[in-house]
Structure formats: structure tokens, C-alpha cells
Amino acid sequence: MARILVTETIADGGLDRLRAAGHTVDVQEGLSPEQLIEAIKGAHALIIRSATDVTAEVLAAGTDLIVVGRAGIGLDNVDTKAATERGVMVVNAPQSNILSAAEHTMALLLSMARNVPQAHAALVAGRWERSRWTGVELADKTLGVVGLGRIGKLVAQRAMAFGMKIVAYDPFVSPEMARKMNIDIVDLDTLLAVSDFVTLHVAKTPETVGLLNAERLAKAKKGIRIVNVARGGIIVESDLADAIRSGHVGGAAIDVFDKEPTTESPLFELPEVVVTPHLGASTHEAQDKAGDTIAEMVGLALAGEFVPFAVNVNAAEASETVRPFLSLAERLGATFGGLATGVEALEVSYEGEIGGYDTRILTLSLLKGFFGRISDDPVSYVNAPKMAEERGITVTETTTTTAHNFVNLITIRGGAHSLAGTLMGLDGEARLVMVDDHRVDVPPANHMLVVRNDDRPGMIGLVGTIVGEAGLNIADMDVGQAPNGASAMMVLSITDAVPAEVCERLRAVEGIVSVDAI
């Protein structure tokens, strides 16, 4: 089983789940960058939170790494590009702390509006400053939500309960969708110009770093108050401090900072500012959810299964229609890998209902099965395309919603071989329905025989006799029909691996053209 290095505090429930699966969980908290590079050697998985920097150097040292798991949403401390280049999957727990982050946003919003921390500090210090800390109401004020994702929507819903009007900036949300939530979509400058309060809920990307700077703050409505429970660096802290000192910005509530951990910021000197040390996800419930989720994702990655929250897989989230075909696609790839050799190009086609959906994850599954069959290296959804590139194998994908003989069909071609499969019945049983352009109907199995023979009587009996005399049980068998109707192929599902001597004995039979053991 795998060795999993854990460098930050993770809920025990998640780690216990990994231990129960047979993995070795190696907890080493507080590692320096140099110590991390040493500790990562020999680890198959790395689980972190926000304090561990997974750099290109760390990834280079982790030659056995299959997956990096971030127990939380943000990934700005993981070099995802370097991980992808090395075929290392990066996963997170994007839904674990959304409720906690939304609630903390509201806590900061109210604390800032009513000066709660400042009044508390004065009172416990022996000062009754009732008139100094007069606040403002939220009712009838406009809240600008920058980023109308999962957290942004939750904040908007809660703010509406306080009687606030909501405007939002999000280039990926249509005005029609926003209107269904009673939210107006506007551009960022308009949002800043009309909002009394602004809350940020965007990822930290090259496009959002420094999003609120001196120039943009100068265009904002005078007296605007700003909340950031997203990521540090989205606001230029020195520019925000200057805008507060000038009186143009009325206040701020900040949970995240450009450099973390930090105890120094120009914002700390200002009485109009409320700050917390990155507490957005710091609830017992969120910690438990993050630990459980990341353990599940890492476990799936180590098992080579579909990982819903993989962030560096081109199509990480499969639709409900496509998802049942993931296993079939991987089985087809593995079967094709046992059938074909010296392949320079793979052509994958999807027909029927699945052809109308995003099928890239199915192609990744197929490649994962294919290279898992022909390579000794660990294969994942992430490194399978890179393996194809390194071997000079081109992969093309075509889709059509037109169905012919089957409601859905996946076909793979390469070299002189072809294979097709589908799911049948209410239980979605996997079936091979074509091998080398011969129509068949047989479930894929771990051990199979494909026998091509002259189309003449007695061949089925000869093959069955030789297989039986070798002590092998035939679980299923079908005679493939060529396009011209001739029966010139047998496809057998065998319960055990077929020894090489059995294949040689079959090849020696007159009338048998070729034998492939898969």
C-alpha cells in the first residue's frame, strides 16, 4: 500500500479512513522547505493545508508522488503546472468550507458595520466609548459581490435576509441566471461605484492579483466598506490603507493577507479595520468535512479511480450521463492495450446520447486503461495524456449523437485493431460488441482470448478442447461475425490467465490464423 505524508493538521476521521484502507500515514508537521524535500522522498501522496508550499523542487524530489491533496479550496501554495507536467494529480476539497466561509463573511460584515471588535477592545480596557463606535445598518444598503460562485451565492442569500440589495460582478454568470436570484450583474467599476459594501469571493489568479488597487479604489463610492475572506493579494493592502486614511473608503474587514502568517500590515494601524487570521474555514465542521473529503479524494487517486475534485484533469467533473461509462472506457483501453502493439495513433469515437456531452474524461479513462496495460509506471488521469505524448501516440476524439445499433457506443481504433463496447440493461452491464470489425457480444474480462480462424466447421470444438485440457474454464464465449456475415473469430472470457503454451498449441492448429491472449 501507499505511504501518505501529512504535513499539517488534518481531522483524525479522514486519516483513520486512509489507515483503514491499508495505507501508511506519516504525519510530520512544521517541516521547513528543506525538510519537506527530504520527507517527500518515497511518498506516494502528500496531504497539506495552506501553510505548506508545494514547489517545483518539492515535486521533483517526490519521484513516487501520485497525488497532492489540499484540505480546503485554495491552491495558490501548490505549483499545479509543475505537478501536471510530472503527472501528479492535484485534488482539493472545494465544498468543505463554503458554509463556514460564507458565515465568516457575514460575521465580518456585521462586525465592521457595528464596530464590534473596536468597542469590545475599548470596554475591556476600561473605556466606555458608546458615542465613538456608532455603526451603520445593513438594511437598504447595496452589497457588491465580486465572484458569484458557491460562497458568493451563499453570502448573497444571507445578505438579502438583512434587507440588502445585491449586485454582482462575475463574467462567468449570465444576467438571466443572476436575475433568477434577484441579483443584478454589472461590471466591476459599476459595482464599486454603486455599492455601500463589497465582498470578494474569487480565486487568486494572475488576473485577480491586485484586483482592488489605488486606481480602482479611487473610482469606488465614497465611504464604501470592503470585506475579503477569499485570498490575500487580491487587494493591494497599502493602497487600501491609504484609501481608508483619506476617508474615501469607510472601512474594511480582512481575513486573508498577501503574506501569511503575518503580524504586520499597514491595515493593522487603522481603527476602521477589522482583521482575523485566516479564519474563514476555521470551524470544527469545516475541518471535519475537509479531512473526510481529502482523504476520500486521495484514496480514489491512489486506487486509480475517478476523482471528482481533481483540479488538473481537463474534465474533472463527469456528468451523470457520462459517469457510468468511465469504467467501461477504462476497460476498453486496457483490453485494447492487450490486443494492439506498436500503435502510433488512437481514434476514439462516441455515438449516441453520450456524444452530446463532454466526453474528455472518458478519453482520459480510456488512456488510463490503455497505458496501465502496457506500462509499468503508475498511470492516472493526469499523466495518461503525457504518456501518449512521450510515446508519440496521437489521440483524436469524435462524437455524434446519432445512434445506430446501440443507444450509446464507445469505439477505439489503432493500428490494425478496433474495439467497441457499450452498457446494456437496467444494471448497465459492460459488453464488448465489436472486435476488429467483427460483431460480438461478450462481457470484458480480466483474461480473454481472441482467436481468428478459417470459417469452417469444427473450429469451436477444437479451441474449446485445447482450452479445457489446459484446465481453463470458459466463462463466456461468442463467435464474431465479419461484415460479410462469415464467422471467422472467437472471443472467449477465461477465468484464469492463459499460459503461453496454450496459445502456442492453438496457433499450431490448422485453420487458426492468430491467437491473442489479453
Question: What is the CATH classification number for the domain harbouring 19?
Answer: 3.40.50.720
User: Does residue 378 belong to any structural domain of this protein?
Assistant: yes
User: Does residue 120 belong to any structural domain of this protein?
Assistant: yes
Give me the pLDDT at residue 309, please. 84
Euclidean distance between CA atoms 66 and 297, whole angstroms: 12
Are residues 131 and 28 located together in one domain of the fold?
Answer: no
User: Does residue 88 belong to any structural domain of this protein?
Assistant: yes
Are residues 496 and 353 located together in one domain of the fold?
Answer: yes
Cell of 213: 488597487
Are residues 36 and 130 located together in one domain of the fold?
Answer: no
Mean pLDDT of 346-362: 92
Kindly report, residue by residue over 234-243, the tens digit of the pLDDT.
Answer: 999 999 999 9
Kindly report, residue by residue over 204-236, the tens digit of the pLDDT.
Answer: 888 899 999 999 999 999 999 999 999 999 999
Kindly report, residue by residue over 97-134, the tens digit of the pLDDT.
Answer: 899 999 999 999 999 999 999 999 999 999 999 999 99
User: If pLDDT is split at 50, 70 and 90, which confidence band does 350 have?
Assistant: very high
DSSP annotation of 198: E
Strand, coil or helix: what is 73? coil
Are residues 141 and 87 located together in one domain of the fold?
Answer: no
More confident residue, 226 or 513: 226
Clarify whether 260 is annotated catalytic.
yes
Give me the pLDDT at residue 373, please. 83
Lay out the sheet containing 429-435: strands in order across: 394-400, 345-352, 408-414, 417-424, 429-435, 438-442, 474-481, 487-494, 447-453, 512-517
Question: What is the CATH classification number for the domain harbouring 331?
Answer: 3.30.1330.90
Are residues 178 and 266 located together in one domain of the fold?
Answer: yes
Mean pLDDT of 399-427: 92
Clarify whether 501 is annotated catalytic.
no
Give me the pLDDT at residue 233, please. 95
Clarify whether 320 is annotated catalytic.
no
Handedness of CA 502, 507, 513, 516 (dihedral sign): positive
Give me the pLDDT at residue 338, please. 87
Task: Count structural domains, the chain.
Answer: 3
Which one from 57, 85, 129, 260 is the annotated catalytic residue?
A: 260
Give me the pLDDT at residue 314, please. 57
Give me the pLDDT at residue 206, please. 81
Are residues 337 and 258 located together in one domain of the fold?
Answer: no
Give me the pLDDT at residue 316, please. 42
Mean pLDDT of 45-74: 93
Mean pLDDT of 349-370: 91
Mean pLDDT of the chain: 91
Q: CB within 8 A of 34, min separation 6: which ones?
A: none
User: Does residue 446 belong to any structural domain of this protein?
Assistant: yes
Angle at 114 between CA 110 and CA 117, to 5 degrees: 90
Are residues 116 and 201 located together in one domain of the fold?
Answer: yes
Are residues 117 and 144 located together in one domain of the fold?
Answer: yes
Q: Are 378 and 429 in contact (CB under 8 A)?
A: no
Mean pLDDT of 1-8: 95
Are residues 162 and 224 located together in one domain of the fold?
Answer: yes
pTM of the full structure: 0.63
Kindly report, residue by residue over 437-477, the tens digit of the pLDDT.
Answer: 999 999 988 899 999 888 888 899 999 999 999 999 999 99
Beta strands 429-435 and 417-424, pairing class: antiparallel
Strand, coil or helix: what is 501? helix
Euclidean distance between CA atoms 204 and 228, whole angstroms: 12
User: Does residue 348 belong to any structural domain of this protein?
Assistant: yes
Give me the pLDDT at residue 354, please. 92
Grid look-up 462575475 returns 170
Give me the pLDDT at residue 109, please. 98
Which one from 23, 104, 225, 278 is the annotated catalytic residue?
A: 278
Kindly report, residue by residue over 150-198, the tens digit of the pLDDT.
Answer: 899 999 999 999 999 999 999 878 888 899 999 999 999 999 999 999 9
Give me the pLDDT at residue 116, please. 98
User: Does residue 413 belong to any structural domain of this protein?
Assistant: yes
Burial of 443 (0-12, 13-18, 19+ CB in 10 A): middle
Mean pLDDT of 262-281: 95
Name beta bridge partners: 227.
199, 253
Judge whether residue 378 has pLDDT over 70.
Answer: no
Kindly report, residue by residue over 18-57, the tens digit of the pLDDT.
Answer: 999 999 999 999 999 999 999 999 999 999 998 899 999 9
Are residues 335 and 474 located together in one domain of the fold?
Answer: yes
Are residues 66 and 157 located together in one domain of the fold?
Answer: no
User: Does residue 40 belong to any structural domain of this protein?
Assistant: yes
Listed residues 211, 240, 275: the one ending a domain: 275
User: Does residue 313 belong to any structural domain of this protein?
Assistant: no
Give me the pLDDT at residue 486, please. 64
Strand, coil or helix: what is 165? strand
Euclidean distance between CA atoms 443 and 176, whole angstroms: 47
Full residue range of the structural domain in which residue 405 is found: 323-517
Handedness of CA 505, 506, 512, 517 (dihedral sign): negative
Kindly report, residue by residue over 278-332, the tens digit of the pLDDT.
Answer: 999 899 999 899 999 999 999 998 987 778 788 887 544 567 788 889 889 999 9
Are residues 376 and 501 located together in one domain of the fold?
Answer: yes
Mean pLDDT of 395-415: 93
Which one from 49, 231, 431, 438 is the annotated catalytic residue?
A: 231
C-alpha distance from residue 222 to each of 141, 219, 236 (Å): 14, 9, 18
User: If pLDDT is split at 50, 70 and 90, which confidence band does 72 have?
Assistant: confident
Q: At what angle do helices 150-161 and 98-114 cross, to 10 degrees?
A: 40
